[in-house]
Amino acid sequence: MDGKAVIEPEEVYTAWPQLRMAVQMLQKMPEGAARKNFEGQLQAAARSLKNVKDTFQTRYDGPVSEAYSGVARPPDEEPEKQKYFDAVFMGRPYVALQAHLLNAAGEEAELPLIRYNFRK
């Protein structure tokens, strides 16, 4: 590292709040173990952010059905729920979406369910 870290956009600090201190300390610290600790925090966050970007890009570029399944499928710790999800999901070529909206007056607006059909 060259001693300077630029974190943009500001919203990155929401996901990695420890980065603010790491950036500040990196500017003040001389070479040594303490500085390496802060550099390590920055590098770990950069790897994590790259993983987030790569995962998003894969979902964005891939089929909607895979993106939906990847987000909505229950975790491995719940095999019975996974089995049910797989049976239902594989049995229909669509997903039902519900929109939560507010009208101009700030009141909840009601829309019918949106049926998104997957392309084959």
| 43 part of a folded domain | yes
| pTM listed for this prediction | 0.56
Confidence of residue 116 (pLDDT cuts 50, 70, 90): very high
Residue 112 domain flag: yes
Query: Of residues 4 and 18, which shows the higher confidence score?
Result: 18
User: Which of 3, 2, 1, 7 has its CA nearest to residue 27?
Assistant: 3
Phi-psi sector, 95: left (phi>0), alpha (psi -120 to 50), beta: beta
Reply yes or no on whether the pLDDT at 98 is more than 80: yes
Residue 20 lies in a domain: yes
pLDDT at 3: 56
pLDDT at res. 120: 64
Angle at 67 between CA 117 and CA 17, to 5 degrees: 140
> What total number of domains does the chain contain?
2
Q: Are residues 77 and 54 in the same domain?
A: no
Range of the domain at 17: 12-60
